[in-house]
Amino acid sequence: MIEIKKNSLSEMFSVYFDKRMLKILLLGVISGFPWVLIGSSLSLWLKEDGLSRSTVGWAGLIFAVYAFNYLWAPLIDRIQIPFLTKKIGHRRGWIVLMQIIILISLALWSLLDPSENLALVVSVGLIIAIASSTQDITVDALRIEQIGENEGKSMAAGAAMAVVGWWSGYKLGGVLSLFAADILQNIGFENYWQLTFLILGILVILMNIGLMFIDESGNLNRKNQQKENDKLISSQFKNENIFTKLITWVAGTISGPIISFFKKNGFSIALGILGFVFLFKVGEAFLGRMSIIFYKEIGFSKSDIAIYSKTLGWITTVTFTLLGGLFVIRSGVLKAMFFAGVMMASTNLLFSVLAWSDKSELLFAIAVIFDDIAAAFATVAFVAFISMLVDRAYTATQYALLASIGTAGRTTLASSSGALVDWLNGDWGIFFILTALMVIPSLMILWIMKNKLKLSEK
């Protein structure tokens, strides 16, 4: 069990100077960057090619693969990549393979026109989403394994650094994407988005170079634990043959992590945790899916969006994610979750004010800043929460299960965001009020089970 203890501010902040935090930061960048490609870049590309808001929203269904990556997480824990595993390690081998697939996909996008090949464009986006969600399994496991099981402060700080890294990859990647597209468009290139994707491919290469500086550890212990679990399962069979070996492998890699989770928490609390994880960030996802479309419709240019939503947003997110990590360490993850939920609902209402006002760069900046503050606190608390719940014998699988369930709520439900705006006849103000109300069910679930969760917050 991981404990988060109260310490002085200087003691808490010093944990960020651990060299492991820099490695976790890079892992976060690697995880967050693909969302630029299949999120804001793809959305704006489709919109500027004349496709409707509903089409853009439904195209976001490709994010749903993140909700199911736990299904193949056990395979990633066990299957070794030929050549890569021996050369650079098991975790890094999987990450590099997925990055290669993303690079190839970007090259394909550079050759396509959405108005003529929408299905193919979305299909390539789906490939990127699958590769990204697959690498996330390994990235999250490698990030958790950088920290000792009983290092409570470092775990919370690591969660903050992972979030900083994720948002850095997403925000700064978005800045490069928007500025490159804007400059290329102004120069006169009709295929400015296709050329932008080739530029983004350079970032993928640079991130793989940085990955080589992250060490792997714990491979032997993990394999030994897996073997012990397999022996325990196989001991239930009188005879050993191919059939019983297959059952042992399936039970040890898939059933084991799930049974462990429900056994640790109890059936009702485990279901409550899953329900909370599923619903917590749905409202934020509805807002995020349509935000760039909203900015464009009320008159802001790609450069405006890059400056206010991406650059300014990145600075705000980094600052308040680090502060959020300290808040989690000081106050405990449960209090942080409640606080973040209320913040998310409140800041979403600022977008209603922006929607019902004349175009104002000041209101735009205020809405973006406070939304990023809320997102920073919510994400670091959420990551710390689910990181504290995983069993180290099943790090990749259990974290992938919890993270993917959270993603399921954000992707499957939020895919209807564009249709909701259309149903409201483009009334963005009402839309953002509805997104604010969406956090209430999750907070009710957390309140009901808060005294029964097996988390120590001393």
Domains of the chain, earliest start first: 9-216+248-449 (1.20.1250.20)
Partners of residue 247 on adjacent β-strands = none
Query: Do the beta carbons of residue 328 and residue 4 sit within 8 Å?
Result: yes
What's the 3-state SS for the chain?
A: CCECCCCCHHHHHHHHHCHHHHHHHHHHHHHHHHHHHHHHHHHHHHHHCCCCHHHHHHHHHHHHHHHCHHHCHHHHHHCCCCCHHHHHCHHHHHHHHHHHHHHHHHHHHCCCCCCCCHHHHHHHHHHHHHHHHHHHHHHHHHHHHCCCCCCHHHHHHHHHHHHHHHHHHHHHHHHHHHHHHHHHHHHCCCCHHHHHHHHHHHHHHHHHHHHCCCCCCCHHHHHHHHHHHHHHHHCCCCCCCHHHHHHHHHHHHHHHHHHHHHHHHCHHHHHHHHHHHHHCCHHHHHHHHHHHHHHHHCCCCHHHHHHHHHHHHHHHHHHHHHHHHHHHHHHCHHHHHHHHHHHHHHHHHHHHHHHCCCCCHHHHHHHHHHHHHHHHHHHHHHHHHHHCCCCHHHHHHHHHHHHHHHHHHHHHHHHHHHHHHHHCCCCHHHHHHHHHHCCHHHHHHHHHHCCCCCCECC
Alpha-carbon distance of 340 to 359, in angstroms, equals 28
* Phi-psi group of 340: left, alpha or beta (phi > 0 → left; psi -120 to 50 → alpha; rest → beta): alpha
Partners of residue 3 on adjacent β-strands = 456
Alpha-carbon distance of 318 to 85, in angstroms, equals 33
Q: Using alpha carbons only, give the angle 163, 129, 371 rounded to the nearest 5 degrees.
A: 35
Q: What is the pLDDT of residue 326?
A: 85
Residue whose token pair is 């990023």 = 372
Tokens of 112: 């396509």
Alpha-carbon Rg for the chain in angstroms: 22
CA dihedral 92, 97, 99, 105 (to 10 degrees): -170
Which residues fall within 8 angstroms of residue 343, CB to CB, at 6 or more apart? 373, 374, 377, 378
Helices 118-145 and 152-187, packing angle to 10 deg? 150
Residue 166's φ and ψ, nearest 5 degrees, are -60, -50
Alpha-carbon distance of 268 to 353, in angstroms, equals 40
Alpha-carbon distance of 200 to 170, in angstroms, equals 12
Tokens of 192: 């400015």
Alpha-carbon distance of 137 to 257, in angstroms, equals 14
Tokens of 162: 């992972």
Residue count of the chain: 458
Q: What is the pLDDT of residue 4?
A: 42
Query: The dihedral of CA 143, 144, 150, 156: what is its sign?
Result: positive
Q: What is the pLDDT of residue 362?
A: 83
Helices 395-408 and 361-387, packing angle to 10 deg? 140
One digit per residue, pLDDT tens: the chain, 458 residues?
Answer: 334 444 555 666 777 788 888 899 999 999 988 888 887 788 888 877 777 777 777 777 787 787 777 778 878 877 788 888 888 888 889 999 999 999 999 999 989 888 788 889 889 989 999 999 899 888 888 888 788 766 767 777 888 888 888 878 887 888 888 888 889 988 888 888 889 889 989 888 888 888 888 877 655 565 666 566 666 666 666 666 677 666 666 666 666 677 777 877 778 888 888 888 888 888 888 887 777 788 878 777 777 777 766 667 677 778 888 888 888 888 778 888 899 899 988 888 988 888 888 777 788 888 888 888 888 888 888 888 887 777 766 777 778 778 778 877 776 777 777 788 888 888 888 988 998 898 899 999 999 888 777 664 44
Alpha-carbon distance of 193 to 246, in angstroms, equals 47
Using alpha carbons, select from 148, 181, 229, 280 the residue that is nearest to residue 397.
Answer: 229
